[in-house]
Amino acid sequence: MKPLAAILLPLLLLQSLVLAAPHAGETITTSSDGGGGPLAERTVTTKHLRPERDEEPAPLLARRNTENPQPVFGNKGAPILGGTNPEIDRQEKHGFVAPGTDNGPVRNLKWSFSHSKMRLFDGGWARSQTVQDLPPSKEISAVQQHIVGGAVRELHWHKVAEWGIVFNGSILLSAVDENGKNTAFTANQWDIWYFPKGIAHAVQGLAPQSEFLLVFDDGDFDAAGVTFNIVDWLIHTPRDVLARNFGVPEAAFDGLAQKTPFILPGRVPETEEGKRAPESPNGEIAGAGGFLYPLGTIGQPEVPGGGGTLAVIDSRNFPIAKTIAATVVTVRPGGLRELHWHPNADEWLYFHAGHARATVFVGSGLARTFDFSAGDTAVFPDNSGHYIENVSATEDLVWIEIYRSDRAVDISLTQWLALTPPDIVAQSLNVSREFVEKLSREKKIILK
């Protein structure tokens, strides 16, 4: 016969487990270190000692721990005990604790210029984002560039088209085409330019500090054979050939740099004459064939919805831009760029100011939410559905959209439903016909 203790001990252990188990509706506090501050309070409902999954409460952001972020939400997750970067965790709120509507293995669609290598020069700096940094961005790459007053981005040309926009300062751009026509023009804040592939050009800083974004219609812009710098070419050409080509003694090239400078110091032109291109016997590039779109002068129009401005710059109003279309968007605090998609190209984005949330739906039940801040780039795949929301209550959200296309176009989800026979929409979504009939038949591009 077993001793009494051997019989009672298992019963006592079972009783203690039952008493320690969470009761229905009981509130449990978890902490990151076993005794520190609480990470989250959660209410669990038990059934046979198994907690049920929490439903997604709203608003989602109100339940996140923004000071000490942890992957704990409701009844899900657990504290991080290994290495992590809290600063990045705080910036990636929706990646760290994703909305319940996110689903599946959607690849990363975001890159920050802050992660790019900064290249320093005597007269400025540059940093780039290519397909090596953001693999889904096969059609577009970009460079942030800064030059000081007088500094020159070395004379060069590209095998791809170049699109640019000035964010600060003022620059002088000059170019010569295959017909020997030339031009020189000033671009100020928000002005845009476009050089087709192969056009020879140069950039010089006019303001004490100037900064701009360069965009190229090829994701692998940094690859060999895409950009051709003049000094790089000359130092790799025999001196006797240079002398014959230019009709000068070989000694004329004794001062040539030993390697391409990329950006070099210079002097700001002292007169307006110094900013003009020499007169060409073949004429000047001007009018509809010009390379400048003066958005800073034209301005950015308000759009339906009352939540901000959106300027479209494509071949319809900037005829030379045949391979890169763009929009410049400002969404006021709390505003929303409505649910939509683009039927003709990937959407590449550069966030210039503010903070945003965007969910990208790539089909087949797959969706992922991203957080964006100034300096971030992204690519939303061709035809993927998405919105972009300004999550700040005080700051404007400003971004640039780029498409490798001659047009910037979109299809509005609301307008599509509003212009479809109401009974079809009502039956498909299991909503009332009244709901469908109240939908706007005009695009509400940016909602308040």
* 351 Cβ contact list (under 8 Å, min separation 6): 372, 373, 374, 375, 376, 377, 378, 397, 398, 399
* 335 Cβ contact list (under 8 Å, min separation 6): 305, 307, 308, 389, 390, 397, 446, 447, 448
Phi, psi of 184 (to 5 degrees): -145, 130
Distance CA 168, CA 211 (A): 5
The angle at the Cα of 149, spanning 287 to 286, to the nearest 5 degrees, equals 5
- What one-character DSSP code corresponds to residue 12? H
Residue 174 and residue 157 in contact, taking contact as beta carbons nearer than 8 Å: no
Catalytic residue among 401, 434, 437, 442: 401
Q: What is the DSSP string of 80-123?
A: --S---HHHHHHTHHHHS--TT-BS-PPP-EEEGGGSPPEEETT
Which pair of structure tokens corresponds to residue 211? 């900064």
Is 298 in a helix, a strand, or coil?
helix
Residue 20 and residue 4 in contact, taking contact as beta carbons nearer than 8 Å: no
Nearest of 371, 364, 145 to residue 263 by alpha carbon: 145
CA distances from 10 to 5, 7, 19 (A): 9, 6, 14
Torsion from C-alpha of 119, 274, 290, 294, nearest 10 degrees: 70
Please say if 389 is a catalytic residue: no
Bridge partners for 247 per DSSP? none
Annotated catalytic residues are 401
